[in-house]
Chain A
Amino acid sequence: MDEPAVAVSGVRKTYGEVAAVDGIDFEVRPGEFLTLLGPSGCGKTTTLNIIAGFIQPDRGSIRLNGQSVEALPPFRRDIGLVFQDYALFPHMSVGQNVAFGLRMRGVPKPEIAQRVEEALELVRLGGRAERKPTELSGGQRQRVALARALVIRPTVLLLDEPLSNLDLKLREEMRLEITTLQRRLGITTVLVTHDQGEALVVSDRIAVMRNGRIEQLGNAEAVYERPATHFVAEFIGTMNFVRGQAMRVSAEGSCIVGFDDHGVAVAAPQPVAGSREVEIAFRPERAALRTAGAAREPTQLAVPGTVRRRVYLGTLVQSHVETVHGRTIIVETVNDGIRQPPNIGEAVEVIVKGSDCIAYPVS
């Protein structure tokens, strides 16, 4: 197998009492697009800065293409870095900005000119080399920053919240542009974001971080369909949680849960003990509604409640159901004109298949 392009192992960094990064390991395969996703303050930027060499970790090591880079200062690491606020050199033109890294590497002048031109073409900014960064729009600055990082042909491209300064429309445009570019160049990329929607769209794999640790590392489908922890389940997409009882552990990674004596088998990625309370999670689009009291299939769970609100999303209609324990469950119904969502105030049952549920231990 190939050497991983980036290998982060056992990395830890503390500031006083706070562990900004608390022992993380992951590998990025050559050409892969990996996203570090997590809420504010979970240590994403710190991780990126450790890879780029701006922060010395207290422990652990970073290898690029199998080479340990601990001893290498930032300016010898050959890593392309795109900053959140672009960090374009304000006293240099667009062209000079892009040429900077090549000059530092002693690339001959004619080649610099050619490569700068190519890089600017690549980000669709050909012919703008003479402009000053201040004369560009936000999206254009972002593309200059990208060209400046790519032109040195880095081993790996690091992007720290590159889109968070852009407005929604531009963000979606640039999102697409960055992924297209990444696929075309086949460049190994690590993106940092706290926007889970962005992460799901662009990444080959996602590392979900929390409090300086990685909670789950997997592709979009895995983190969405099989969140490894309660935190991941809650952080990615919309998730319903209801309290239930674990009756017994049936097999490795699965258990029987229920609300009364009726039990169904559900996945349990974290170990749960028998006869204990668990949180049962399921997605709004996997649940259905029906009038209270009707018979149910043996593999289904039924949660009684009252409809409190209805939200039209166009293609979908959401019903907000309040359970007898005061929790709110969201159920999404396709707005196909056939199924009629229940009225507000109506007593209903939320129905979900055991195979669409995941049980987590109560923390």
Chain B
Amino acid sequence: MRRAVGLPWQMLRGAVALTYLFIFTPIVITALVSFNSINQSKFPPVGFSMRWWDDALSERWLQPLWFSVQLATLTAVIATLLGLPLAFGLTRYKFPGRNILVALSLGPLALPALVTGIGILQFFQTAGLAALFGFPALLIGHVVICLPFSVRTIAISLRAMPAKVEQAAANLGARPARVFLEITLPLIRSGLFAGAIFCFIQSFTDYSVSLFLSRAGMQPISIAILSYIDYGFTPTLAAVAVLTLVVPLVLIAAVQHFFGIGDFLYGARDSG
């Protein structure tokens, strides 16, 4: 068997180590900068202080953070509810217009989210839907950009299902609804969760579609940080930035613990 040692491989390992360094340096620096004792983002930090963390944990920042969590949760739920029937229809049936719909459901991934945000803004404004501005429009924008993630993930797990089990269930007397509930749904469960998590993270880390759709008091955390830009990058902001990292990490750990999306992500599946 191949034992991959030798000079080229060692050089590759060196390059890989440097790449990881490149990936994580800015993130680590951001975290360390939050402990500066002066109100400047110096690296290495000057002295040590936790007061910027006090600031970061104040209402000023927790409010948009909590808002983002709510927005991302709702987005994930709605995108999954829309993505499930869409993916099921697209993978299990042939119908006129199917190809157009496939392109359409992946479209938000292809077009710039920033522009989609502007489009929604202008279209709602002109179509007399200005009443939707605020949370509803923001939610709509987020669902639009997340839908491709959910459709795609669900479609992949629908296709990855062991062949013919749905037919076998129908043959044994299960009506379509029962086939779906007893066979399909349990078998794509991890795909559903993975899709919902992709949606959550996509929504939680988005700034593009929110840029033109958020309103005062209804700012996702990334927009709140971005609009602080004029004050420079203070250690408080660094602490807030670290806080925003905690949310998806906790989420993934929890879901992995309770439902095991690992199965899905590593493509391990049984065929009976």
Contact = CB atoms under 8 A, between A and B. Distances in A.
A75 B174 CA distance: 5
A132 B167 CA distance: 20
B262 interface: no
B171 A52 contact: yes
A182 B174 CA distance: 25
B270 A100 contact: no
A146 to B, nearest CB: 12
B167 A54 contact: yes
A75 B164 contact: no
Contacts of A132: 270, 272
Contact of A89 (B170, B173, B272): B272
Contact of B272 (A54, A74, A75, A88): A88
Nearest to B172: A101
Interface in A69-108: 73-81, 83, 85-91, 97, 100-101, 104-105
Contacts of B85: none
A134 interface: yes
B171 A91 contact: no
B187 interface: yes
B167 A91 contact: no
A199 interface: no
Given A75-B175, A101-B172, A104-B172, A90 B165 contact: yes
Contacts of A149: 171-172
Contacts of A76: 173
A13 interface: no
A265 to B, nearest CB: 51
B156 to A, nearest CB: 17
B162 interface: yes
A208 interface: no
Interface string A131-165: 01110000001000000110010000000000000
Contacts of A52: 167, 171
Contacts of A148: 168, 172
Interface in B110-153: none
Interface of B: 162-165, 167-176, 178-179, 182-183, 186-187, 269-272
B173 A88 contact: no
Nearest to B162: A90
B167 A90 contact: no
Contacts of A74: 167, 170-171
- A interface bracket (residues with beta carbon within 8 Å of B): 20 to 34
Of the candidates B165, B171, B187, B271, the one having the most CB atoms from chain A within 10 angstroms of its own CB is B171
A105 B270 CA distance: 27
Contacts of B187: 89-91
B164 A85 contact: yes
A305 B187 CA distance: 64
Contact of A75 (B165, B173, B182, B269): B173
B162 A101 contact: no
A152 B165 contact: no
Nearest to A100: B172
B162 A87 contact: yes
A141 B272 contact: yes
Given A134-B270, A141-B272, A87 B164 contact: yes
A114 to B, nearest CB: 18
A159 B35 CA distance: 71
Contact of B270 (A80, A86, A90): A90
12 contacts: A74-B167, A74-B171, A77-B171, A81-B168, A88-B272, A89-B183, A89-B187, A90-B162, A90-B270, A90-B272, A97-B272, A104-B178
A133 B187 CA distance: 14
Given A87-B272, A133-B270, A133-B272, A100 B164 contact: no
A81 B165 CA distance: 11
Given A87-B167, A89-B183, A105 B173 contact: yes
B164 A83 contact: yes
Contacts of A89: 165, 168-169, 183, 187, 272
Contact of B165 (A73, A78, A88, A101): A88
A152 B162 CA distance: 23
A150 to B, nearest CB: 11
B272 A86 contact: yes
Contacts of B173: 75-76, 78, 101, 104-105, 152
Give 6 closest A-B pairs by Cβ, nearest first.
A88-B272, A101-B172, A133-B272, A104-B173, A87-B164, A87-B168
B238 to A, nearest CB: 46
Contacts of B269: 90
Nearest to B163: A85
A125 B183 CA distance: 24
Given A100-B169, A134-B270, A134-B272, A87 B174 contact: no
Contacts of A133: 270, 272
A152 B172 contact: yes
Of the candidates B167, B173, B176, the one having the most CB atoms from chain A within 10 angstroms of its own CB is B173
B216 to A, nearest CB: 48
Contacts of B163: 83, 85, 87
A313 B182 CA distance: 53
A149 B271 CA distance: 19
B164 A91 contact: no
B165 A87 contact: yes
